[in-house]
Amino acid sequence: MRRSFFLVCMLLCGPTFAQKAMPLSSLERLEQLNKVAAAVENLRAVTDELSAGRYMGCMKAVGEPTFCECLKSKLPVAITFSGYISITTRSKEENMYSILSKEDKQIYDRSVQVRDLCVAARKP
C-alpha cells in the first residue's frame, strides 16, 4: 500500500517538479550572480575595514570625531590615513605629483578637497 501511494505521488507530482526545474543556463547564471554577490560582499567588508582603520588612525592623531568621521566617509577608498597625511602635509613636488597617473592625480586632488570639506564641516 505504501509503495503504491508513493508511486501515485511520484506520477502526480513528477510533472510539477519537472516544470519548476530551472534550465542549466539559468542555474549557471544564478551561480555566477551568487559569486558576484559574494565578491561584492567581500569588497564591502574590506572597504569597511579600511575605513575603520582610517578612522582609528585619525582619532589617534587628531582626536576630533566629527572630522575623523568625515574623512572616513569621504576620502577615496584607496587612501589610508598615513597617505592622507602625506598628501596634505607635503607639496605636490615632494609627492611627485607630476609623475602620477591620471587616476592617481584624481585621487590625490579629491583627498585635498575632502580635507577642506572636513575642516569646514567641523567648524561651529
Express each pLDDT in 92-123 by its tens digit.
999 999 999 999 999 999 999 999 999 988 76
**What residues have CB less than 8 Å from 47, skipping those under 6 apart?**
77
Instruction: Report whether pLDDT(6) > 80.
Output: no
**14 vs 23, which has greater pLDDT?**
23
The model carries a pTM of: 0.64
Asked if residue 18 has pLDDT above 50, the reply is: no
Q: Provide the terminal-to-terminal Cα distance of the chain, rounded to the nearest Å.
A: 83
Q: Are 111 and 79 in contact (CB under 8 A)?
A: yes
pLDDT in tens, 43-71: 888 887 777 888 999 999 999 999 999 99
